[in-house]
Amino acid sequence: MKYFTLVIIYLTGMSIQGYGQKGPINIIRYLDDFSYLLESDTLERTELEKLKYIYPFKNKNINISFGGELREQYQYYKNPNFGDLKPGTVEDVNGYLWHRAMAHADLMLGEDWRVFTQFSSTFALGKENITTGIDQNALSLHQFFIKWSPQKSKGIFTQIGRQEFALGSNLTISMREGPNTRLTFDAVVRWSRKKVSSVLCVGGYACTSKKWCLR
């Protein structure tokens, strides 16, 4: 398992990717915004919209939302790496299918607390040379974090746990959308939209085996 440790990063004039993205569905799924469903009690929801803001108790301050995504991507390479392959490499002649399925649950506990959980399952179907953790990861706890927002109106919050995020232009830290298995981080994130932001990453890696993962 590849693992690396990051120090505190102070960001000035940078942003976590996704906060400026428009629309109800975000590439970073915990940033989805379906608040328009709360604007009217008489709004007729679609079947999928009924998965959002479910109130399991009489207390309207507690709600849970469910969501998911599916990506199928076919790839074929002719003369990969310009034909310079490692000894023992089986050349792919038919291409292969990248399959990714993800599902999440978002529990809101009042205005200040939130628990977000996401599972991921990825397979490389028909690929001869599989890189575990990039091409394929049968099942993993992709995200699980607790968010505390004591000053929500000021855009200040803290997230602790396994989570996705991307900084700036994605060159240094990102969730790695391109490959089949996305990258996630064990981290403590402190965020302020109006002031200099600080991010403390205690660890980050692509989940491959043993810890929270099943091959």
Give the model confidence (pLDDT) of 31-85 as tens digits: 999 999 988 878 888 999 999 999 998 888 999 999 999 999 998 877 777 767 7
Residue 185: pLDDT over 90:
no
> What length is written for the chain?
215
Spatial separation of the C-alpha atoms in residues 197 and 17, rounded to whole Å: 13
Q: Which H or E run contains 141?
A: strand 137-151
Residue boundaries of the structural domains of the chain: 8-38+45-76+94-214
210 near 13, Cβ under 8 Å? no
89 touches 129 (CB < 8 A): yes
% of residues, the chain, pLDDT over 70 = 76
215 versus 183: the higher-pLDDT residue is: 183
The Cα angle at residue 139 between residues 123 and 29, in degrees rounded to 5 = 90
pTM of the predicted structure, to 2 decimals = 0.79
